[in-house]
Amino acid sequence: MLAPQNPDVRARRNVTVLVIAQAVLGAQMPVHFVLAGLAGQVLSPIPCLATLPVSVTVFGSMLSAPFLAGMMQRTGRTPGFVLGAIAGGIGAALCALALVIGSFVLFLAGSALVGLYMSGQGFYRFAAADGASDDFRPRAISYVMAAGLVSAILGPQLVKATSDALAPIPFAGAYLAVVALSLGGAFIFAFLDSPKPPPPVAGDPGVRSRGELLRDPTIVVAMICGMVSYALMNLVMTAAPLAVVGCGFGTGDAADVVMAHVLAMFAPSFFTGHLIARFGAVRIIGTGLATLAAAGAVGLSGVTLAHFNITLILLGLGWNFGFIGATALLAGAHRPEERGRVQGMNDAAVFALVGVASLASGGLMNCIGGDPVAGWSAVNLAMIPFLALAGSALVWLALSRPRTARAR
C-alpha cells in the first residue's frame, strides 16, 4: 500500500517560490523608502511635503489591498502577484521619468503604483499559509518573512550601485534598476502552484459577510494587533534617523541604527514560526507587544547612541513577534472561501494605520516641544495608548476563548 502523500509537499514548494520572490522583488521597497523622501526634497515645491511620496505609497497599498484580495480569491494568487510586480515596475519607471523632467506630481503617481506592488507583496505571507497544515502554517509564514532579510540588504546595495548611474539626474538610475527587477521578477510566479480557493456557494451559511467576519473575536483581535505592531514600528523607525542626527550624531550613525533595526525585524523570522507552533500565536503576540513597550521605555530613558540602538533593536523584535503572530492567528481564523474578504480587510486596515503613523511621525518630531529630544519623547509616548488597546484586546481574547483553543 502506498504511503499517503505529505499534505505539506505543495505548501513547501510554494514557500520556496515565495521566499525567492520576497528576497528578489522585495528589494524594491527598501530602494523606494530610502530614496522617496530624498527625491521629494529635490522635486517638491514645498519642503514640508518631501516625505509625501512615502505616505502616498502606503495609502496606495491600503486602497489596493481589497481589490487584490478579491482578485486572488477569484483567480488565484499568481495573477495578483504578477499584476503587483508589473505595477511596481511601471511605478518605478514613472518615478524615473519624473526625476528626469522634474515633476513632483508624476513622482507621486509613480509612488502610488509602487503602493499597489507593496500591497501584493504583503499577501506573500498569506499565500505561504494556503493549503499548509496547522503545524506547518506558522513556520511557512515565518520563512517567507525571513526572506525580507535578504531584500533589506539587497535594496540598499542597489541604491549605492545605481543611484548615480544617470548623473547629474539624481536617483533615476536606481529606479530604472527597479524596473528591471520588477519585470524580470514577475516570472518567478510561473513556478507558484498555490491552491485556488473554492468559489462560495450561494446560501452557504459557512461563508460569512464582512459584518459577520468583523464580529469574530479572533479576527478582530488579530487585525488590531497586526495594525498596532506595524504602525508603531513605522512611527518610531521613521522618526529615529531625525532624532539621531538631531541629537548630534552623524548620518552614518543613523544608518547603523536603522540597519540594526532591520536585522532585528527579519532575523528572528527563522525561528518565530517554531515558537508560534510551540507556544501559540496569542503568547507570541503578547511577547511582541511587551517588547514594543520595552522599546518605548528605553527610548524615553535617554538619547545616547546606545539608547537609540537598543530602542530600534527591541522595536524590530517586537514587530516580528507581533506582526507574524497576528498573521498566523488571522490565517487560522477563516475558511478558504473567506480569505479574500478577510485578508483584504486586514491589509487595508494595517496600511491605513501605517499611513497615519508615517504622517504623524514627522509632525511629532518637528512640531512637539521644538527640539529633537522633546520630539523623540513625544514619538515614544505616542505608543502607549495603542499598546494599551492591543494588549487589552489580546488579554480579553485569551480569557474569553475556550480552553482548547487558547493555545492557537
Q: What's the pLDDT score for residue 251?
A: 64
* Residue of 162, 172, 216 whose CA lies nearest to 405: 216
Residue 405 has pLDDT above 60, yes or no: no
Four-point Cα dihedral 252, 255, 257, 260, nearest 10: -130
Query: Can you tell me whether residue 93 is helix, strand or coil?
Result: helix
Using pLDDT thresholds of 50, 70 and 90, give the confidence band for residue 258.
confident
* Residue of 391, 408, 64, 402 whose CA lies nearest to 224: 391
Percent of the chain with pLDDT over 70: 91
Mean predicted confidence (pLDDT) in 95-120:
95
Class level of CATH domain 211-408:
mainly alpha
Residue 242 has pLDDT above 80, yes or no: no
Distance between CA atoms of 381 and 394, rounded to whole angstroms?
21
* Segment of 48-57, 268-277, 282-291 carrying the highest mean pLDDT: 282-291
* Residue of 30, 178, 170, 158 whose CA lies nearest to 90: 178
Q: What's the pLDDT score for residue 290?
A: 97
| Summary mean pLDDT of the chain | 86
* Segment of 105-114, 138-147, 325-334 carrying the highest mean pLDDT: 105-114
Distance between CA atoms of 208 and 374, rounded to whole angstroms?
47
Mean predicted confidence (pLDDT) in 53-69:
88
Q: What's the pLDDT score for residue 148?
A: 86
Domain 1-197, CATH homologous superfamily name and number: MFS general substrate transporter like domains (1.20.1250.20)
* Residue of 229, 329, 314, 242 whose CA lies nearest to 282: 329
Q: What's the pLDDT score for residue 206?
A: 60
Residue 407 has pLDDT above 50, yes or no: no
pLDDT digits (tens, 9 = 90+) for 173-211: 989 999 999 999 999 999 998 777 666 555 555 677 778
Mean predicted confidence (pLDDT) in 296-313:
95
Of residues 329 and 256, which shows the higher confidence score?
A: 329
- Rg of the chain over Cα atoms, rounded to whole angstroms, equals 21
Residue 303 has pLDDT above 70, yes or no: yes
* Across 40-44, 47-51, 220-224, 392-396, least confident range: 47-51
Q: What's the pLDDT score for residue 7?
A: 66
* Residue of 362, 140, 127, 107 whose CA lies nearest to 234: 362
Burial 245-284 (b: 16+ CB within 10 A, else e): ebbebeeebbebbbebbbbbbbbbbeebbebbbeebbbbb
Distance between CA atoms of 180 and 187, rounded to whole angstroms?
12
Q: What's the pLDDT score for residue 329?
A: 93
85, 33 in Cβ contact below 8 A? Answer: no
H-helix or E-strand containing 4?
none
Using pLDDT thresholds of 50, 70 and 90, give the confidence band for residue 408.
very low
User: The C-alpha cell of 58 is what?
Assistant: 502606503
Mean predicted confidence (pLDDT) in 276-298:
95
Q: What's the pLDDT score for residue 331?
A: 85
Residue 4 has pLDDT above 80, yes or no: no
* Residue ranges matching CATH 1.20.1250.20 in the chain: 1-197, 211-408
Residue 47 has pLDDT above 70, yes or no: no
* Across 38-47, 57-66, 184-193, 312-321, least confident range: 38-47
pLDDT digits (tens, 9 = 90+) for 97-109: 999 999 999 999 9
Backbone angles phi, psi at 394, to 5 degrees: -70, -40
In the 8-state DSSP scheme, what is residue 248? Answer: T
Q: What's the pLDDT score for residue 198?
A: 65
Percent of the chain with pLDDT over 90: 44
25, 121 in Cβ contact below 8 A? Answer: yes
Residue 328 has pLDDT above 60, yes or no: yes
